[in-house]
């Protein structure tokens, strides 16, 4: 299967599910028409970008997506939209320059018939880095993530599920795969640089996610952190890593879309996604609960869900071949990625506890109902996909799609057969249940109590518990920097631009203006002298005339003498 | 003495005449609504028409002296038009513009005299393929730089923003500043041959000028001065294309002339609506006008996207092709500078849009916006978009120009 087609088909499936969900959701928010217009145009332009065989056509579609992103985020807040425009705009401008270099070097504008360039001279290397950075910014790496988090506050869940969760990932990863596989032969140093970006993204973003207490913002940080895995896999340069990166991209769009839609359910029914104000929703909104559990386990990489299947492939890619020093780096990145997975699970435990399992706060009305069927369906389908793609990863995804894409058979180092494993997991769960029911253990439910005394308002906030992470010594500095925006690369770039603009403005522009003004004033000073002569009095003019006449006569006489 | 009434209508001059004539027409339609509340309508329209007429004369001239005459005629018209309101400060700005452009033109006249002395003619047909010395090149460039406002002769352009907005649009965006660009395209891209080393230094100066103007726009708070700086910085791209002078670069520069004329005219005319209806040009005192003039806001955004160079607007194609041509010619650093300038353009135009149209209302709108003004700015915005979507048609015409010029 062609890689362009793969991305096109799956982007329409995912995008379509979100749009089906949005039908009822958008009705309530009364922004239906522009939302659906921008969403469909986004899907069309994204397909154009995937299918384009010409670099310039590709850039046109890709750039149009930036404008649509601006318009779509602008439905929520133009302030966020401006931030998104600047951040993603940096990536787009990098990409445009990179493509210009690429065409200038190769003279080839066909994407599909492109002969990969060696990354052995400065121009090729800068072209690679520019395009890769453009792709990664689109996908949303740490450092250019500010707009995603801000949009989580200002925009509805459907927009989040549509753009940062699914389409932006499709686009960024498509370009990154093309860059690493079809446009360039990536050398070891560049590969390690890109992988380092990926590994740092995994770890830093998940640390940020850990302390979020808003469901949507937490998901936004995970949307950033998961990009790291994809980048890691693709930049590893091994076939299984690239296939794993692609698979993880697809899986991510499935479970992250599912999670955002679940957040959308809560937003739809309660109008609030602040975790500390939620609780006890598992009984009131069972479908939402199930969807969230499945997707949370998927994103954390718990077998046999799909997140595990793809992460496992990425880890395999990292463990694969490589020169001595490269493999050392790869092991470090592997450890970082695994640690990231652990923290992901931790942060989703918080979500499950705070929103669904923990006690219901008093302010929450007790007549909260599950969302309408039309909104449940996409969630159920996505949750089902999480399970199916995990259990039958080999037969449904790797063999028919991923092996043709990378053009080779994918071999694991160890043996992992998800379908067999699932049977074993289910069997052991059943065995556990049997032991439990046979043992007839007695239990009772009770409220929280301290020293035997019951507490009246004893809700334990999951969010507060996780906030204590911020007090750990080395992390304290990290969170402080994050708080003041130290990780926002686009902010630094803007500040640098502003500072240099002061220098250039005063040192060059204003000083030249000063000199020009001086010359202009000089003209007036000189002409003021002549002005005095022109007094408008007839006798003066006659005097000047006579004087001139006398002078002329004098010159004439002198010349006569000379001859 | 070298002066002949010789006119030439080849595809390049027809292209220039069409672009400036069309944008000039749009601006004149807009002026009907704009100028109705001021005195001196006759003077205003008289000079506007004379200005456009001398522009037409200039683009069709095939004699350097004839060209010079029309050149100074446009300077004279712009002098009267910039000082139209006759305030003390306006008059100084008008004088400054006249002095700088006249200074440049006088230096250019010295260049013309040298050409006449060396080659015995000022007829462009006869001069074709002549290699001029660096001195003549620099003398002629003084005129071109002063008219197209490049460093170090650029400082008159932001000051000239005191003029009525249709005048600024005509002068800064569509016509006056394009005279220098056209003169360069006509003289040094098609007639004279100049040494490569001189071109290299020229490129460096031009791109530096573009960057300085772009960052200066970030520092300004007067909306029309921001747009004026933007003009200086955008002209640098046109010069970049013309100086590299490959078929791709030349075509890109011509497309840029079209895109920039329409887009920047739209921006200036929208700024004109804002300025006239709120009586302020200070960005700090503006805000939240999105609700009261949504059409103008949308047109502004469309034109701004085009000027920034985002697809699918016309500005993307012109900017991308110029940068591609620079990279293909081996000027990779200049291409990177071009992208940095484009990023700064994004920053200041979005800052301008946010400042005028978003946030809270600081100065409310007084009076209604006439339909002629609204429809003209909307036309500019829509054309900016359409040039990009139907880029094939302008490119076809530009291709035929390139073929006709034998590049």
3-state SS assignment for residue B222? strand
**A45: closest chain B residue by CA:** B312
Residue B29, both tokens = 């339609």
Residue A321 pLDDT grade (very low, low, confident, very high; cuts 50, 70, 90): low
Q: Which residues of B touch A93 (CB under 8 A)?
A: 339, 342-343, 346
Residue B1 lies inside a defined structural domain of this protein: no
| Nearest alpha carbon to residue A368 among A263, A284, A264 | A284
Q: What is the pLDDT of residue B153?
A: 84
Q: Which residue has the higher pLDDT, A532 or A41?
A: A41
- Cβ contact B324–A519 (<8 Å): no
Q: What is the pLDDT of residue A459?
A: 64
- For chain A, the helix, strand and coil percentages under 3-state DSSP, each to the nearest 5: 80, 0, 20
Q: What is the pLDDT of residues A241-287, one digit of tens each?
A: 888 899 999 999 999 999 999 988 888 888 888 888 887 888 888 88
Please give the angle made by the CA atoms of B44, B50 and B52, to the nearest 5 degrees.
105
Please give the angle made by the CA atoms of B99, B348 and A78, to the nearest 5 degrees.
150
Residue A563 pLDDT grade (very low, low, confident, very high; cuts 50, 70, 90): low
Q: Does B216 touch chain A (CB under 8 A)?
A: yes
Extract the residue ranges of chain B whose pLDDT is less than 70. Answer: 1-2
Residue B6 lies inside a defined structural domain of this protein: no
Which of A67-76, A190-199, A402-411 is the least confident region? Answer: A402-411
Q: Does B205 touch chain A (CB under 8 A)?
A: no
pLDDT at A169 over 80: yes
Q: What is the pLDDT of residue A350?
A: 85
3-state SS, one letter per residue, for B239-279: HHHHHHCCHHHHHHHHHHHHHHHHHHHHHHHHHHHHHHHHC
| Average pLDDT of span A541-559 | 89
Q: Domains of chain A: which residue ranges?
A: 3-410+422-428, 489-562
| Average pLDDT of span A331-353 | 88
This complex has an ipTM of 0.91
Q: What is the mean pLDDT of chain A?
A: 85
3-state SS assignment for residue A322? coil
Q: What is the pLDDT of residue B266?
A: 92
Q: Which residues of A touch B156 (CB under 8 A)?
A: 516
Residue B4 lies inside a defined structural domain of this protein: no
Nearest to B219 among A59, A502, A519 (CB): A502
Q: Please answer whether residues B287 and B354 qualify as being in contact, where contact means their C-beta atoms are separated by less than 8 angstroms.
A: no
Q: How many CB atoms lie within 10 A of CB B364?
A: 10
| Nearest alpha carbon to residue B185 among B9, B327, B16 | B16
Q: What residues of chain B, 319 to 348, have a C-beta less than 8 Å from chain A?
A: 320, 323-324, 326-328, 332, 335-336, 339, 342-344, 346-347
- Cβ contact A501–B151 (<8 Å): no
Going from the C-alpha of A111 to that of each of A114, A118, A123, A175, B329, the distances in angstroms are 5, 16, 19, 11, 22
Q: Which residues of B touch A524 (CB under 8 A)?
A: 95
Q: b/e string for B381-402 if b means 16 or more Cβ within 10 A?
A: bbbbbbbbeebeebbebbeebb
Cα B113 to Cα B111: distance, rounded to the nearest angstrom:
5
To test the contact with chain A by mutation, choose from B95, B298, B343 the residue with the greatest count of A C-beta atoms within 10 A, namely B343
For chain A, percent of residues with pLDDT exceeding 90: 20
Q: What is the pLDDT of residues A512-531, one digit of tens each?
A: 889 888 988 888 888 888 88
**A122: closest chain B residue by CA:** B332
- Cβ contact B155–A516 (<8 Å): yes
| Nearest alpha carbon to residue A352 among A283, A298, A289 | A289
| Average pLDDT of span A93-105 | 92
> Helix A168-177 and helix A239-269: axis angle, to 10°?
170
Q: Does B151 touch chain A (CB under 8 A)?
A: yes
Q: Which residue has the higher pLDDT, A24 or B339?
A: B339
Residue A560, both tokens = 């006569």
Q: Residue A416 carries which DSSP code?
A: -
Nearest-neighbour CA in chain B from A190: distance (Å): 21
Nearest to A100 among B92, B153, B327 (CB): B327
Q: Which residues of B touch A123 (CB under 8 A)?
A: 332
Q: Which residues of B touch A528 (CB under 8 A)?
A: none
**B302: closest chain A residue by CA:** A67
- Cβ contact B96–A520 (<8 Å): yes
Check the CA dihedral A258-A260-A261-A265 and report its sign. Answer: positive
Q: What is the pLDDT of residue B259?
A: 93
Residue B155 lies inside a defined structural domain of this protein: yes
Residue A456 pLDDT grade (very low, low, confident, very high; cuts 50, 70, 90): low
Q: What is the pLDDT of residue B304?
A: 93
Q: Per mean pLDDT, which of A113-117, A171-175, B366-370 is the most reliable?
A: A171-175
Interface A-B, measured as beta-carbon pairs within 8 A, has a size of 121
Residue B2 lies inside a defined structural domain of this protein: no
Which of A112-121, A253-262, A357-366 is the least confident region? Answer: A357-366
Q: Please answer whether residues A136 and A172 qualify as being in contact, where contact means their C-beta atoms are separated by less than 8 angstroms.
A: yes
Residue A229, both tokens = 């895995």
Cα B338 to Cα A97: distance, rounded to the nearest angstrom:
9
| Domain around B131 | 11-405
Nearest-neighbour CA in chain A from B121: distance (Å): 33
Q: Does A106 touch chain B (CB under 8 A)?
A: no
Cα A255 to Cα A386: distance, rounded to the nearest angstrom:
7
Q: Does B318 touch chain A (CB under 8 A)?
A: no
Q: What is the pLDDT of residue B269?
A: 92
Kindly give, in sequence order, each residue whose CB lies less than 8 Å from that of residue A29, ignoring residues fewer than 6 positions away: A156
Q: Does A501 touch chain B (CB under 8 A)?
A: yes
Nearest-neighbour CA in chain A from B18: distance (Å): 27
Q: What is the pLDDT of residue B312?
A: 87
Q: Does B194 touch chain A (CB under 8 A)?
A: no
Q: Does A103 touch chain B (CB under 8 A)?
A: yes
Q: Which residues of B touch A517 (CB under 8 A)?
A: 96, 155
Nearest-neighbour CA in chain A from B155: distance (Å): 5
Residue A62 pLDDT grade (very low, low, confident, very high; cuts 50, 70, 90): very high
> Helix B247-278 and helix B314-328: axis angle, to 10°?
140
To test the contact with chain A by mutation, choose from B215, B309, B319 the residue with the greatest count of A C-beta atoms within 10 A, namely B215
Q: What residues of chain A, 456 to 495, have a C-beta less than 8 Å from chain B?
A: 494
Domain count, chain B: 1
Q: Which residues of B touch A60 (CB under 8 A)?
A: 311-312, 316, 388
Nearest-neighbour CA in chain B from A533: distance (Å): 21
């Amino acid at each position: 299967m062609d890689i362009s087609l793969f991305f096109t088909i799956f982007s329409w499936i995912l995008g379509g599910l979100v749009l089906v969900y949005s039908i009822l959701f958008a009705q309530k928010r009364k922004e239906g028409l522009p939302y659906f217009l921008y969403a469909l145009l986004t899907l069309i332009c994204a397909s154009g970008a995937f299918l384009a065989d010409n670099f310039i056509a590709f850039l046109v579609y890709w750039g149009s997506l930036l404008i649509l992103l601006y318009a779509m985020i602008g439905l929520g807040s133009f302030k966020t939209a401006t931030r998104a425009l600047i951040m993603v705009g940096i990536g787009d401008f990098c990409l445009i320059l990179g493509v210009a270099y690429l065409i200038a070097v190769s003279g080839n504008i066909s994407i599909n018939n492109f002969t990969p360039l060696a990354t052995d001279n400065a121009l090729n290397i800068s072209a690679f880095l520019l395009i890769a950075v453009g792709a990664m910014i689109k996908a949303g790496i740490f450092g250019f993530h500010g707009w995603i988090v801000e949009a989580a506050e200002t925009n509805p869940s459907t927009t989040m599920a549509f753009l940062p969760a699914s389409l932006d990932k499709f686009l960024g990863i498509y370009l990154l795969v093309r860059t690493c596989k079809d446009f360039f032969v990536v050398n070891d140093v560049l590969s390690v640089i890109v992988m380092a970006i990926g590994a740092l993204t995994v770890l830093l973003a998940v640390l940020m996610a850990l302390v979020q207490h808003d469901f949507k913002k937490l998901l936004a940080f995970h949307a950033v952190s998961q990009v790291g895995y994809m980048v890691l896999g693709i930049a590893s340069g091994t076939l299984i890593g690239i296939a794993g990166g692609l698979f993880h991209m697809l899986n991510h769009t499935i479970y992250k879309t599912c999670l955002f839609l679940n957040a959308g359910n809560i937003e739809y029914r309660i109008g609030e996604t602040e975790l500390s104000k939620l609780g006890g929703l598992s009984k009131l909104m069972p479908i939402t609960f199930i969807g969230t559990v499945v997707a949370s386990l998927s994103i954390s990489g718990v077998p046999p869900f799909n997140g595990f299947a793809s992460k496992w492939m990425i880890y395999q890619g990292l463990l694969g071949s490589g020169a001595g020093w490269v493999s050392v780096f790869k092991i470090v990145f592997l450890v970082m990625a695994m640690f990231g997975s652990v923290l992901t699970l931790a942060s989703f435990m918080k979500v499950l506890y705070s929103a669904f399992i923990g006690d219901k706060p008093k302010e929450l009305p007790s007549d909260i109902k599950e969302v309408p069927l039309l909104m449940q369906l996409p969630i159920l389908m996505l949750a089902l996909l999480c399970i199916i793609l995990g259990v039958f990863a080999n037969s449904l995804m790797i063999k028919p799609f991923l092996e043709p894409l990378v053009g080779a058979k994918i071999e694991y180092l160890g043996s992992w057969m998800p379908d067999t494993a699932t049977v074993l997991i289910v069997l052991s769960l059943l065995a556990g249940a049997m032991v439990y029911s046979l043992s007839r253990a007695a239990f009772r439910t009770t409220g929280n109590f301290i020293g035997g005394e019951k507490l009246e308002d004893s809700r334990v906030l999951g969010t507060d518990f996780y906030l204590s992470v911020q007090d750990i010594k080395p992390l304290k500095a990290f969170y402080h920097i994050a708080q003041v925006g130290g990780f926002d690369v686009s902010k630094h770039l803007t500040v640098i631009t502003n500072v240099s603009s002061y220098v250039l403005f005063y040192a060059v522009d204003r000083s030249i203006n000063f000199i020009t003004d001086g010359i202009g004033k000089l003209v007036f000073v000189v002409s003021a002298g002549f002005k005095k002569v022109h007094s408008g009095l007839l006798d003066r003019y006659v005097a000047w005339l006579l004087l001139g006449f006398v002078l002329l006569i004098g010159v004439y006489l002198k010349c006569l003498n000379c001859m | 003495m070298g002066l002949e009434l010789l006119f030439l209508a080849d595809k390049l001059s027809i292209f220039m005449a069409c672009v400036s004539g069309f944008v000039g027409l749009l601006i004149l339609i807009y002026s009907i609504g704009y100028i109705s509340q001021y005195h001196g309508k006759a003077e205003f329209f008289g000079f506007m028409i004379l200005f456009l007429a001398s522009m037409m004369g200039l683009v069709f001239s095939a004699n350097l002296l004839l060209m010079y005459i029309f050149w100074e005629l446009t300077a004279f018209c712009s002098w009267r038009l910039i000082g139209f309101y006759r305030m003390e400060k306006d008059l100084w700005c008008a004088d400054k513009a006249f002095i700088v452009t006249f200074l440049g033109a006088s230096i250019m006249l010295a260049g013309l005299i040298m050409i006449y002395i060396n080659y015995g003619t000022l007829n462009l047909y006869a001069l074709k393929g002549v290699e001029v010395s660096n001195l003549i090149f620099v003398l002629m460039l003084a005129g071109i730089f002063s008219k197209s406002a490049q460093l170090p002769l650029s400082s008159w352009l932001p000051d000239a923003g005191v003029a009525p907005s249709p005048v600024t649009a005509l002068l800064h965006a569509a016509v006056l500043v394009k005279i220098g660009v056209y003169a360069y395209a006509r003289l040094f891209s098609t007639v004279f041959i100049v040494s490569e080393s001189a071109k290299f230094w020229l490129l460096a100066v031009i791109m530096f000028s573009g960057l300085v103007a772009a960052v200066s726009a970030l520092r300004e708070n007067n909306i029309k001065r921001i747009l004026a700086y933007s003009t200086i910085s955008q002209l640098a791209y046109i010069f970049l294309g013309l100086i590299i002078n490959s078929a791709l670069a030349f075509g890109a520069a011509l497309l840029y002339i079209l895109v920039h004329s329409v887009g920047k005219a739209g921006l200036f005319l929208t700024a004109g609506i804002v300025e006239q209806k709120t009586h302020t040009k200070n960005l700090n005192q503006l805000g939240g006008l999105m609700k009261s003039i949504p059409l103008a806001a949308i047109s502004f955004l469309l034109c701004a996207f085009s000027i920034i160079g985002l697809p699918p607007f016309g500005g993307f194609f012109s900017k991308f092709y110029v940068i591609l041509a620079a990279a293909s010619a081996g000027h990779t650093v200049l291409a990177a500078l071009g992208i940095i300038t484009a990023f700064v353009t994004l920053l200041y135009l979005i800052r301008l849009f946010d400042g005028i149209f978003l946030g809270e209302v600081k100065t409310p709108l007084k009076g209604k916006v006439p339909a002629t003004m609204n429809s003209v700015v909307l036309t500019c915005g829509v054309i900016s978009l359409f040039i990009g979507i139907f880029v094939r048609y302008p490119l076809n015409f530009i291709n035929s120009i390139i073929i006709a010029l034998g590049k």
